[in-house]
Chains A and B, each alone.
Chain A
Amino acid sequence: MKRAIITVVGKDTVGIIAKVCTYLSAENVNVLDISQTIVGGYFNMMMIVDVSASKIDFNNLSDGLSKVGEEIGCVIRIQLEDIFDMMHRI
Protein backbone atom coordinates (compact mmCIF):
# COMPACT_ATOMS: atom_id res chain seq x y z
CA MET A 1 0.00 0.00 0.00
CA LYS A 2 1.25 3.49 -0.86
CA ARG A 3 -0.69 6.03 1.13
CA ALA A 4 -1.12 9.66 0.29
CA ILE A 5 -2.98 12.56 1.86
CA ILE A 6 -5.29 14.75 -0.21
CA THR A 7 -6.29 18.12 1.18
CA VAL A 8 -9.06 20.19 -0.37
CA VAL A 9 -9.57 23.77 0.75
CA GLY A 10 -11.92 26.34 -0.74
CA LYS A 11 -15.34 27.96 -0.69
CA ASP A 12 -18.10 25.45 -0.01
CA THR A 13 -20.23 24.47 -2.98
CA VAL A 14 -22.38 21.55 -4.14
CA GLY A 15 -20.55 18.40 -5.24
CA ILE A 16 -16.96 18.93 -4.10
CA ILE A 17 -16.62 15.46 -2.59
CA ALA A 18 -18.46 13.91 -5.55
CA LYS A 19 -16.14 15.53 -8.11
CA VAL A 20 -12.96 14.58 -6.26
CA CYS A 21 -14.14 11.01 -5.64
CA THR A 22 -15.29 10.56 -9.23
CA TYR A 23 -11.87 11.59 -10.45
CA LEU A 24 -10.11 9.29 -7.97
CA SER A 25 -12.33 6.37 -8.89
CA ALA A 26 -11.65 6.89 -12.60
CA GLU A 27 -7.90 6.68 -11.88
CA ASN A 28 -8.35 3.63 -9.62
CA VAL A 29 -7.27 5.40 -6.42
CA ASN A 30 -8.88 3.86 -3.31
CA VAL A 31 -10.22 6.19 -0.59
CA LEU A 32 -9.37 4.91 2.91
CA ASP A 33 -10.61 7.75 5.11
CA ILE A 34 -12.37 11.08 4.74
CA SER A 35 -12.89 13.87 7.25
CA GLN A 36 -14.43 17.18 6.42
CA THR A 37 -15.40 20.44 8.14
CA ILE A 38 -17.00 23.68 7.04
CA VAL A 39 -16.01 26.79 8.98
CA GLY A 40 -17.37 30.21 7.97
CA GLY A 41 -18.41 28.96 4.53
CA TYR A 42 -14.97 27.45 3.90
CA PHE A 43 -14.73 23.82 3.00
CA ASN A 44 -11.82 21.84 4.41
CA MET A 45 -11.41 18.18 3.57
CA MET A 46 -8.70 15.66 4.27
CA MET A 47 -8.62 12.26 2.59
CA ILE A 48 -6.30 9.34 3.06
CA VAL A 49 -5.98 7.36 -0.14
CA ASP A 50 -4.09 4.37 -1.47
CA VAL A 51 -2.33 5.20 -4.74
CA SER A 52 -0.55 1.88 -5.24
CA ALA A 53 -3.01 0.71 -7.92
CA SER A 54 -3.37 4.11 -9.57
CA LYS A 55 -3.61 4.04 -13.37
CA ILE A 56 -1.38 7.08 -13.72
CA ASP A 57 1.86 8.10 -12.00
CA PHE A 58 1.93 10.38 -8.99
CA ASN A 59 3.00 13.42 -10.96
CA ASN A 60 0.04 13.19 -13.31
CA LEU A 61 -2.33 12.39 -10.47
CA SER A 62 -1.18 15.56 -8.71
CA ASP A 63 -1.68 17.65 -11.87
CA GLY A 64 -5.09 16.01 -12.49
CA LEU A 65 -6.28 16.85 -8.99
CA SER A 66 -5.08 20.45 -9.34
CA LYS A 67 -7.15 20.70 -12.49
CA VAL A 68 -10.25 19.29 -10.74
CA GLY A 69 -9.59 21.87 -8.02
CA GLU A 70 -9.56 24.71 -10.54
CA GLU A 71 -12.91 23.55 -11.92
CA ILE A 72 -14.60 23.62 -8.51
CA GLY A 73 -12.77 26.63 -7.12
CA CYS A 74 -10.73 24.78 -4.50
CA VAL A 75 -7.04 24.18 -3.88
CA ILE A 76 -6.35 20.44 -3.97
CA ARG A 77 -3.00 19.00 -2.93
CA ILE A 78 -1.83 15.44 -2.79
CA GLN A 79 1.25 14.49 -0.80
CA LEU A 80 2.76 11.12 0.11
CA GLU A 81 1.99 10.35 3.74
CA ASP A 82 5.68 9.92 4.63
CA ILE A 83 6.28 13.67 4.98
CA PHE A 84 3.75 13.90 7.81
CA ASP A 85 4.97 10.71 9.47
CA MET A 86 8.56 11.88 9.37
CA MET A 87 7.77 15.30 10.76
CA HIS A 88 5.36 14.33 13.54
CA ARG A 89 6.40 10.81 14.63
CA ILE A 90 9.64 9.73 16.22
Chain B
Amino acid sequence: MISKLEIQETNRMIEKMNLDVRTITLGISLLDCIDSDLGRLNEKIYQKITTLAGNLVATGEEIAKEYGIPVVNKRISVTPIGLIGASACHSEDDFVEIAKTLDKAGKAVGVNFIGGYSALVSKGMTKAEELLLRSIPKALAETDVVCSSVNVGSTKTGINMDAVRLMGQVIRRTAENTADKDSIGCAKLVVFCNAPDDNPFMAGAFHGVTEADAVINVGVSGPGVVKKALEQARGKDFEFLCETIKKTAFKITRVGQLVAKRASEMLNVPFGIVDLSLAPTPAVGDSVAEILQEIGLEHPGAPGTTAALALLNDQVKKGGIMASSYVGGLSGAFIPVSEDQGMIDAVLAGCLTLEKLEAMTCVCSVGLDMIAIPGDTSAETLSGIIADEMAIGMINQKTTAVRLIPVIGKKVGDSAEFGGLLGYAPIMPVNSFSCADFVNRKGRIPAPVHSFKN
Protein backbone atom coordinates (compact mmCIF):
# COMPACT_ATOMS: atom_id res chain seq x y z
CA MET B 1 0.00 0.00 0.00
CA ILE B 2 1.26 3.45 -0.92
CA SER B 3 1.90 5.64 2.11
CA LYS B 4 0.71 9.16 2.68
CA LEU B 5 4.29 10.42 2.70
CA GLU B 6 4.96 8.94 -0.72
CA ILE B 7 1.83 10.53 -2.15
CA GLN B 8 2.82 13.87 -0.69
CA GLU B 9 6.35 13.54 -2.07
CA THR B 10 5.09 12.89 -5.60
CA ASN B 11 2.62 15.75 -5.48
CA ARG B 12 5.20 18.13 -4.03
CA MET B 13 7.48 17.31 -6.96
CA ILE B 14 4.69 18.16 -9.40
CA GLU B 15 3.32 21.25 -7.66
CA LYS B 16 6.41 22.87 -6.20
CA MET B 17 9.41 21.54 -8.15
CA ASN B 18 8.17 21.69 -11.74
CA LEU B 19 8.19 17.94 -12.33
CA ASP B 20 6.56 17.41 -15.69
CA VAL B 21 6.59 15.29 -18.77
CA ARG B 22 8.33 17.64 -21.16
CA THR B 23 7.19 16.04 -24.38
CA ILE B 24 5.30 13.18 -25.92
CA THR B 25 6.71 12.95 -29.42
CA LEU B 26 5.03 10.83 -32.06
CA GLY B 27 7.54 9.66 -34.64
CA ILE B 28 5.98 9.09 -38.05
CA SER B 29 7.66 7.42 -41.01
CA LEU B 30 6.95 9.20 -44.29
CA LEU B 31 8.80 6.63 -46.41
CA ASP B 32 5.52 5.31 -47.83
CA CYS B 33 4.54 8.83 -48.96
CA ILE B 34 7.42 9.15 -51.42
CA ASP B 35 6.22 10.21 -54.86
CA SER B 36 7.82 11.85 -57.88
CA ASP B 37 4.94 14.32 -58.11
CA LEU B 38 5.30 17.14 -55.57
CA GLY B 39 1.55 17.78 -55.29
CA ARG B 40 0.79 14.13 -54.57
CA LEU B 41 3.69 13.89 -52.15
CA ASN B 42 2.43 16.88 -50.16
CA GLU B 43 -1.08 15.46 -50.11
CA LYS B 44 0.12 12.06 -48.83
CA ILE B 45 2.29 13.67 -46.14
CA TYR B 46 -0.58 15.81 -44.91
CA GLN B 47 -2.99 12.85 -44.85
CA LYS B 48 -0.60 10.54 -43.02
CA ILE B 49 0.34 13.06 -40.31
CA THR B 50 -3.19 14.24 -39.64
CA THR B 51 -4.51 10.66 -39.56
CA LEU B 52 -1.90 9.24 -37.21
CA ALA B 53 -1.52 12.28 -34.97
CA GLY B 54 -5.15 13.39 -34.93
CA ASN B 55 -5.61 12.30 -31.30
CA LEU B 56 -2.11 13.09 -30.05
CA VAL B 57 -2.87 16.35 -28.29
CA ALA B 58 -6.13 15.12 -26.72
CA THR B 59 -4.37 11.97 -25.54
CA GLY B 60 -1.60 14.00 -23.92
CA GLU B 61 -4.17 16.10 -22.11
CA GLU B 62 -6.12 13.07 -20.96
CA ILE B 63 -3.01 11.43 -19.52
CA ALA B 64 -2.13 14.67 -17.73
CA LYS B 65 -5.54 14.53 -16.10
CA GLU B 66 -5.33 10.86 -15.15
CA TYR B 67 -2.03 11.14 -13.34
CA GLY B 68 -2.22 14.76 -12.30
CA ILE B 69 1.07 15.62 -13.99
CA PRO B 70 1.52 18.27 -16.70
CA VAL B 71 2.35 16.99 -20.17
CA VAL B 72 3.86 20.20 -21.47
CA ASN B 73 4.42 19.52 -25.16
CA LYS B 74 2.91 17.25 -27.76
CA ARG B 75 5.10 16.99 -30.85
CA ILE B 76 5.71 15.11 -34.07
CA SER B 77 8.90 13.96 -35.72
CA VAL B 78 9.05 12.69 -39.28
CA THR B 79 11.51 10.89 -41.55
CA PRO B 80 14.22 13.31 -42.76
CA ILE B 81 12.69 15.28 -45.61
CA GLY B 82 16.01 15.15 -47.47
CA LEU B 83 15.10 11.52 -48.26
CA ILE B 84 11.35 11.94 -48.65
CA GLY B 85 11.54 14.84 -51.10
CA ALA B 86 14.47 13.49 -53.12
CA SER B 87 12.50 12.37 -56.17
CA ALA B 88 9.90 15.16 -56.18
CA CYS B 89 11.96 18.25 -55.40
CA HIS B 90 14.05 19.86 -58.11
CA SER B 91 14.56 23.25 -56.51
CA GLU B 92 14.90 24.88 -53.10
CA ASP B 93 11.33 26.17 -53.43
CA ASP B 94 10.02 22.63 -53.96
CA PHE B 95 11.45 21.71 -50.55
CA VAL B 96 9.94 24.83 -49.00
CA GLU B 97 6.55 23.57 -50.22
CA ILE B 98 7.05 20.41 -48.14
CA ALA B 99 8.00 22.54 -45.12
CA LYS B 100 4.72 24.42 -45.56
CA THR B 101 2.82 21.13 -45.72
CA LEU B 102 4.46 20.00 -42.47
CA ASP B 103 3.59 23.35 -40.90
CA LYS B 104 -0.04 23.05 -42.00
CA ALA B 105 -0.32 19.45 -40.76
CA GLY B 106 1.33 20.32 -37.44
CA LYS B 107 -1.06 23.20 -36.87
CA ALA B 108 -4.06 21.09 -37.91
CA VAL B 109 -3.37 18.53 -35.17
CA GLY B 110 -2.37 21.22 -32.65
CA VAL B 111 1.24 20.23 -31.88
CA ASN B 112 3.69 22.99 -30.99
CA PHE B 113 6.59 21.67 -33.09
CA ILE B 114 7.12 19.23 -35.93
CA GLY B 115 10.69 18.08 -36.49
CA GLY B 116 12.31 16.33 -39.40
CA TYR B 117 13.01 19.02 -41.98
CA SER B 118 16.34 17.30 -41.91
CA ALA B 119 19.16 15.74 -43.86
CA LEU B 120 21.70 13.11 -42.83
CA VAL B 121 24.85 14.08 -44.66
CA SER B 122 27.64 12.85 -42.40
CA LYS B 123 29.67 11.52 -45.32
CA GLY B 124 28.24 13.14 -48.42
CA MET B 125 25.26 15.06 -49.76
CA THR B 126 22.93 14.00 -52.54
CA LYS B 127 21.77 16.72 -54.91
CA ALA B 128 18.40 16.77 -53.13
CA GLU B 129 19.96 17.00 -49.68
CA GLU B 130 22.06 19.95 -50.76
CA LEU B 131 18.90 21.64 -52.05
CA LEU B 132 17.20 20.97 -48.70
CA LEU B 133 20.11 22.51 -46.78
CA ARG B 134 20.02 25.59 -49.01
CA SER B 135 16.23 25.87 -48.58
CA ILE B 136 16.37 25.90 -44.75
CA PRO B 137 16.56 29.73 -44.31
CA LYS B 138 13.44 30.25 -46.43
CA ALA B 139 11.61 27.23 -44.97
CA LEU B 140 12.15 28.39 -41.38
CA ALA B 141 11.18 31.97 -42.18
CA GLU B 142 7.93 30.95 -43.89
CA THR B 143 6.75 28.36 -41.34
CA ASP B 144 6.05 28.55 -37.60
CA VAL B 145 6.23 25.07 -36.10
CA VAL B 146 8.71 23.30 -38.39
CA CYS B 147 12.12 22.40 -36.93
CA SER B 148 15.19 21.52 -38.92
CA SER B 149 18.28 19.49 -38.17
CA VAL B 150 21.29 18.40 -40.18
CA ASN B 151 23.68 15.61 -39.23
CA VAL B 152 27.08 16.54 -40.61
CA GLY B 153 29.33 14.00 -38.96
CA SER B 154 29.65 10.74 -37.08
CA THR B 155 32.26 8.61 -35.35
CA LYS B 156 31.99 6.03 -38.13
CA THR B 157 32.20 8.40 -41.10
CA GLY B 158 34.13 11.46 -39.97
CA ILE B 159 32.95 15.03 -40.58
CA ASN B 160 31.56 16.27 -43.88
CA MET B 161 33.31 19.64 -44.00
CA ASP B 162 31.48 20.68 -47.18
CA ALA B 163 28.24 20.42 -45.19
CA VAL B 164 29.82 22.20 -42.20
CA ARG B 165 30.88 25.08 -44.47
CA LEU B 166 27.42 25.25 -46.02
CA MET B 167 25.70 25.16 -42.60
CA GLY B 168 27.70 28.22 -41.49
CA GLN B 169 26.15 30.09 -44.43
CA VAL B 170 22.70 28.55 -43.81
CA ILE B 171 22.70 29.66 -40.16
CA ARG B 172 23.67 33.19 -41.20
CA ARG B 173 20.94 33.39 -43.84
CA THR B 174 18.38 31.93 -41.43
CA ALA B 175 19.32 34.65 -38.94
CA GLU B 176 19.03 37.35 -41.61
CA ASN B 177 15.63 36.04 -42.79
CA THR B 178 14.21 36.34 -39.27
CA ALA B 179 16.17 39.44 -38.23
CA ASP B 180 12.96 41.24 -37.24
CA LYS B 181 12.32 38.62 -34.53
CA ASP B 182 15.83 38.48 -33.02
CA SER B 183 16.84 35.84 -35.59
CA ILE B 184 14.55 33.27 -33.97
CA GLY B 185 14.70 31.03 -37.06
CA CYS B 186 18.07 29.79 -35.78
CA ALA B 187 16.40 28.51 -32.59
CA LYS B 188 14.66 25.94 -34.79
CA LEU B 189 17.85 24.71 -36.49
CA VAL B 190 20.38 22.23 -35.08
CA VAL B 191 23.61 20.85 -36.54
CA PHE B 192 24.48 17.39 -35.21
CA CYS B 193 27.28 14.88 -34.99
CA ASN B 194 26.09 11.31 -34.23
CA ALA B 195 22.40 12.40 -34.25
CA PRO B 196 20.14 9.83 -32.55
CA ASP B 197 17.21 8.37 -34.52
CA ASP B 198 14.77 8.51 -31.62
CA ASN B 199 15.29 11.88 -29.96
CA PRO B 200 11.95 13.33 -28.75
CA PHE B 201 13.33 16.82 -28.01
CA MET B 202 13.21 19.75 -30.41
CA ALA B 203 14.65 21.24 -32.45
CA GLY B 204 16.66 18.11 -33.26
CA ALA B 205 13.93 15.46 -33.38
CA PHE B 206 13.50 13.39 -36.52
CA HIS B 207 12.15 9.90 -37.13
CA GLY B 208 15.11 7.75 -38.17
CA VAL B 209 14.90 5.34 -41.10
CA THR B 210 15.62 2.40 -38.79
CA GLU B 211 12.40 3.11 -36.84
CA ALA B 212 8.95 1.52 -37.19
CA ASP B 213 6.07 3.16 -39.08
CA ALA B 214 5.04 5.13 -35.98
CA VAL B 215 6.47 5.23 -32.49
CA ILE B 216 5.94 7.08 -29.21
CA ASN B 217 9.00 8.61 -27.55
CA VAL B 218 8.77 10.51 -24.29
CA GLY B 219 11.07 13.10 -22.78
CA VAL B 220 10.83 13.60 -19.03
CA SER B 221 12.24 16.48 -17.12
CA GLY B 222 12.71 17.66 -13.58
CA PRO B 223 15.86 19.64 -12.86
CA GLY B 224 13.87 21.32 -10.07
CA VAL B 225 13.32 17.96 -8.36
CA VAL B 226 17.02 17.07 -8.49
CA LYS B 227 17.96 20.53 -7.20
CA LYS B 228 15.55 20.25 -4.27
CA ALA B 229 16.71 16.73 -3.40
CA LEU B 230 20.33 17.91 -3.39
CA GLU B 231 19.56 20.50 -0.73
CA GLN B 232 19.72 17.55 1.69
CA ALA B 233 23.20 16.71 0.40
CA ARG B 234 24.84 20.01 1.36
CA GLY B 235 28.24 19.38 2.96
CA LYS B 236 27.93 15.61 2.45
CA ASP B 237 30.45 13.44 0.59
CA PHE B 238 30.34 12.44 -3.09
CA GLU B 239 28.79 9.06 -2.39
CA PHE B 240 25.78 10.66 -0.71
CA LEU B 241 25.56 13.24 -3.51
CA CYS B 242 25.57 10.57 -6.22
CA GLU B 243 23.07 8.36 -4.42
CA THR B 244 20.67 11.29 -4.09
CA ILE B 245 20.86 12.13 -7.80
CA LYS B 246 20.40 8.49 -8.81
CA LYS B 247 17.33 7.97 -6.63
CA THR B 248 15.74 11.16 -7.89
CA ALA B 249 16.48 10.35 -11.53
CA PHE B 250 14.91 6.94 -11.00
CA LYS B 251 11.68 8.45 -9.72
CA ILE B 252 11.47 11.02 -12.51
CA THR B 253 12.11 8.44 -15.21
CA ARG B 254 9.50 6.04 -13.85
CA VAL B 255 6.87 8.70 -14.45
CA GLY B 256 8.11 9.05 -18.02
CA GLN B 257 7.92 5.32 -18.50
CA LEU B 258 4.34 5.24 -17.18
CA VAL B 259 3.23 8.09 -19.42
CA ALA B 260 4.95 6.59 -22.47
CA LYS B 261 3.26 3.22 -21.93
CA ARG B 262 -0.13 4.84 -21.46
CA ALA B 263 0.24 7.05 -24.53
CA SER B 264 1.31 4.05 -26.55
CA GLU B 265 -1.80 2.12 -25.43
CA MET B 266 -4.20 4.98 -26.06
CA LEU B 267 -2.84 5.85 -29.50
CA ASN B 268 -2.24 2.23 -30.44
CA VAL B 269 1.29 3.08 -31.48
CA PRO B 270 4.32 1.13 -30.18
CA PHE B 271 6.37 2.61 -27.35
CA GLY B 272 9.91 3.53 -28.42
CA ILE B 273 12.07 5.07 -25.73
CA VAL B 274 12.15 7.33 -22.70
CA ASP B 275 14.69 10.13 -22.97
CA LEU B 276 16.18 10.82 -19.54
CA SER B 277 17.35 14.34 -20.21
CA LEU B 278 17.21 17.00 -17.54
CA ALA B 279 15.68 19.75 -19.65
CA PRO B 280 15.51 23.20 -18.06
CA THR B 281 13.04 25.98 -18.79
CA PRO B 282 13.36 29.70 -18.08
CA ALA B 283 11.09 29.26 -15.02
CA VAL B 284 12.73 29.78 -11.65
CA GLY B 285 13.43 26.42 -9.99
CA ASP B 286 13.60 24.54 -13.29
CA SER B 287 17.28 24.95 -13.97
CA VAL B 288 20.29 22.67 -14.54
CA ALA B 289 22.54 25.59 -13.54
CA GLU B 290 20.91 25.62 -10.08
CA ILE B 291 21.80 21.93 -9.69
CA LEU B 292 25.44 22.75 -10.45
CA GLN B 293 25.26 25.52 -7.86
CA GLU B 294 23.77 23.11 -5.34
CA ILE B 295 26.65 20.71 -6.03
CA GLY B 296 28.97 23.50 -4.92
CA LEU B 297 29.72 26.01 -7.68
CA GLU B 298 29.11 29.73 -7.30
CA HIS B 299 28.02 29.82 -10.94
CA PRO B 300 28.28 27.33 -13.80
CA GLY B 301 31.49 28.16 -15.60
CA ALA B 302 33.62 28.25 -12.45
CA PRO B 303 36.52 25.78 -12.23
CA GLY B 304 35.05 22.39 -11.37
CA THR B 305 32.02 22.86 -13.63
CA THR B 306 33.02 20.18 -16.13
CA ALA B 307 33.62 17.66 -13.35
CA ALA B 308 30.35 18.49 -11.61
CA LEU B 309 28.42 18.21 -14.87
CA ALA B 310 30.11 14.89 -15.72
CA LEU B 311 29.08 13.54 -12.34
CA LEU B 312 25.52 14.81 -12.68
CA ASN B 313 25.10 13.42 -16.18
CA ASP B 314 26.42 10.00 -15.24
CA GLN B 315 24.25 9.66 -12.12
CA VAL B 316 21.14 10.72 -14.03
CA LYS B 317 21.84 7.92 -16.52
CA LYS B 318 22.56 5.35 -13.80
CA GLY B 319 19.29 6.10 -12.01
CA GLY B 320 17.24 6.42 -15.16
CA ILE B 321 18.46 3.25 -16.85
CA MET B 322 17.18 1.23 -13.89
CA ALA B 323 13.77 2.87 -14.25
CA SER B 324 13.10 2.08 -17.90
CA SER B 325 14.32 -0.76 -20.07
CA TYR B 326 14.17 1.37 -23.20
CA VAL B 327 16.21 4.48 -22.70
CA GLY B 328 17.28 6.41 -25.75
CA GLY B 329 17.38 9.77 -27.45
CA LEU B 330 19.87 12.20 -25.99
CA SER B 331 19.54 11.19 -22.32
CA GLY B 332 21.72 13.46 -20.20
CA ALA B 333 21.70 17.03 -18.99
CA PHE B 334 20.85 19.87 -21.35
CA ILE B 335 22.80 23.08 -20.94
CA PRO B 336 21.04 25.60 -23.14
CA VAL B 337 21.82 29.18 -22.22
CA SER B 338 18.61 31.02 -23.10
CA GLU B 339 16.31 28.34 -21.65
CA ASP B 340 17.93 28.29 -18.22
CA GLN B 341 17.81 31.31 -15.91
CA GLY B 342 20.85 30.08 -13.96
CA MET B 343 22.93 29.90 -17.15
CA ILE B 344 21.83 33.39 -18.16
CA ASP B 345 22.84 34.70 -14.71
CA ALA B 346 26.23 32.99 -15.05
CA VAL B 347 26.83 34.67 -18.42
CA LEU B 348 25.77 38.05 -17.05
CA ALA B 349 28.09 37.59 -14.06
CA GLY B 350 30.97 37.03 -16.49
CA CYS B 351 31.49 33.47 -15.25
CA LEU B 352 30.40 31.44 -18.27
CA THR B 353 32.06 31.73 -21.67
CA LEU B 354 31.54 30.00 -25.00
CA GLU B 355 34.84 28.17 -24.53
CA LYS B 356 33.79 26.79 -21.13
CA LEU B 357 30.44 25.72 -22.58
CA GLU B 358 32.37 23.87 -25.27
CA ALA B 359 34.32 22.01 -22.59
CA MET B 360 31.07 21.19 -20.77
CA THR B 361 29.64 19.63 -23.93
CA CYS B 362 32.37 16.97 -23.77
CA VAL B 363 30.66 15.41 -20.74
CA CYS B 364 26.93 16.01 -21.20
CA SER B 365 24.32 15.44 -23.83
CA VAL B 366 23.79 17.77 -26.76
CA GLY B 367 26.16 20.67 -27.13
CA LEU B 368 26.35 24.41 -27.72
CA ASP B 369 22.66 25.08 -27.31
CA MET B 370 20.59 28.25 -27.63
CA ILE B 371 23.55 30.58 -27.45
CA ALA B 372 23.07 34.10 -28.80
CA ILE B 373 26.18 35.55 -30.44
CA PRO B 374 26.88 38.86 -32.19
CA GLY B 375 25.00 39.43 -35.45
CA ASP B 376 28.20 40.21 -37.34
CA THR B 377 29.72 36.77 -36.72
CA SER B 378 30.90 35.49 -40.11
CA ALA B 379 29.71 32.27 -41.76
CA GLU B 380 33.29 30.95 -41.60
CA THR B 381 33.47 31.50 -37.83
CA LEU B 382 30.12 29.73 -37.42
CA SER B 383 31.47 26.82 -39.47
CA GLY B 384 34.62 26.78 -37.33
CA ILE B 385 32.58 26.56 -34.12
CA ILE B 386 30.44 23.80 -35.67
CA ALA B 387 33.56 21.87 -36.75
CA ASP B 388 35.00 22.06 -33.21
CA GLU B 389 31.79 20.75 -31.67
CA MET B 390 31.42 18.00 -34.27
CA ALA B 391 35.01 16.91 -33.59
CA ILE B 392 34.19 16.49 -29.90
CA GLY B 393 31.28 14.22 -30.81
CA MET B 394 33.21 12.29 -33.43
CA ILE B 395 36.22 11.53 -31.22
CA ASN B 396 34.24 10.82 -28.04
CA GLN B 397 31.57 8.68 -29.76
CA LYS B 398 28.77 10.83 -28.44
CA THR B 399 26.07 13.10 -29.80
CA THR B 400 27.01 16.74 -30.03
CA ALA B 401 25.02 19.58 -31.51
CA VAL B 402 25.20 23.25 -32.29
CA ARG B 403 22.26 25.65 -32.05
CA LEU B 404 23.77 29.11 -32.30
CA ILE B 405 21.84 32.29 -32.92
CA PRO B 406 23.76 35.13 -34.53
CA VAL B 407 21.32 37.88 -33.61
CA ILE B 408 21.34 40.32 -36.50
CA GLY B 409 21.89 43.92 -35.44
CA LYS B 410 22.93 43.05 -31.89
CA LYS B 411 26.33 42.95 -30.21
CA VAL B 412 27.89 41.90 -26.92
CA GLY B 413 26.06 43.68 -24.10
CA ASP B 414 22.66 43.43 -25.81
CA SER B 415 20.20 40.64 -25.25
CA ALA B 416 17.86 38.67 -27.51
CA GLU B 417 14.26 37.86 -26.62
CA PHE B 418 12.76 34.62 -28.00
CA GLY B 419 9.73 34.21 -25.75
CA GLY B 420 8.06 31.18 -24.19
CA LEU B 421 10.12 28.04 -23.56
CA LEU B 422 12.95 29.47 -25.67
CA GLY B 423 13.55 32.29 -23.17
CA TYR B 424 15.98 35.18 -23.66
CA ALA B 425 19.73 35.34 -23.92
CA PRO B 426 22.55 37.81 -23.43
CA ILE B 427 24.78 38.07 -26.53
CA MET B 428 28.01 36.20 -25.81
CA PRO B 429 31.36 37.19 -27.27
CA VAL B 430 32.91 34.95 -29.95
CA ASN B 431 36.61 34.55 -30.68
CA SER B 432 36.95 36.59 -33.84
CA PHE B 433 40.30 35.36 -35.14
CA SER B 434 39.91 33.88 -38.59
CA CYS B 435 39.50 30.20 -39.44
CA ALA B 436 38.47 30.90 -43.04
CA ASP B 437 41.38 29.06 -44.67
CA PHE B 438 40.57 25.99 -42.58
CA VAL B 439 36.83 25.80 -43.26
CA ASN B 440 37.22 26.67 -46.92
CA ARG B 441 39.15 23.47 -47.59
CA LYS B 442 36.98 21.04 -49.58
CA GLY B 443 36.12 17.47 -48.58
CA ARG B 444 35.81 15.76 -45.24
CA ILE B 445 37.68 15.02 -42.06
CA PRO B 446 38.37 11.25 -42.05
CA ALA B 447 36.81 8.93 -39.47
CA PRO B 448 38.97 8.50 -36.38
CA VAL B 449 40.73 5.29 -35.33
CA HIS B 450 38.86 3.31 -32.73
CA SER B 451 41.88 1.91 -31.01
CA PHE B 452 44.99 3.52 -29.45
CA LYS B 453 42.71 5.41 -27.07
CA ASN B 454 45.38 7.17 -25.02
A interface residues, Cβ below 8 angstroms from B: 5, 7, 33, 35, 46, 58-59, 62, 77-88
Contacts and interface: CB of A to CB of B under 8 A. Distances in A.
Interface stretch (B87-95, B204-212, B254-262): B254-262
Given A77-B68, A79-B66, A84 B4 contact: no
Contacts of A78: 68
B349 interface: no
16 contacts: A5-B2, A7-B7, A7-B11, A33-B1, A58-B66, A77-B68, A79-B67, A80-B66, A81-B2, A82-B258, A83-B10, A83-B67, A84-B2, A84-B10, A86-B254, A88-B251
B256 to A, nearest CB: 10
Contacts of A35: 4
Contacts of A79: 66-68
B254 A87 contact: yes
Contacts of A59: 62, 65
Contacts of B9: 88
Interface residues of B, number: 19
B4 A87 contact: no
Contacts of B66: 58, 79-80
Contacts of B67: 79-80, 82-83
Given A7-B11, A83-B258, A46 B4 contact: yes
Nearest to B6: A88
Interface of B: 1-2, 4, 6-7, 9-11, 62, 65-69, 251, 254-255, 257-258
Given A77-B68, A79-B66, A86 B7 contact: no
B255 A87 contact: yes
Contacts of B62: 59
Q: Which of B2, B9, B69, B255 lies at the interface centre, i.e. has the most chain A CB atoms within 10 A of its CB? A: B2
| Top 10 A-B residue pairs of the complex, sorted by shortest distance between their CB atoms | A79-B68, A86-B254, A83-B67, A88-B6, A84-B2, A86-B258, A87-B251, A80-B66, A87-B254, A77-B68
A46 B254 CA distance: 22
A14 B7 CA distance: 25
Given A5-B7, A35-B4, A46-B7, A83 B255 contact: yes
Nearest to A85: B2
Contacts of B7: 5, 7, 46, 84
A85 B6 CA distance: 9
B251 A77 contact: no
Q: Which of A79, A84, A87, A88 lies at the interface centre, i.e. has the most chain B CB atoms within 10 A of its CB? A: A87
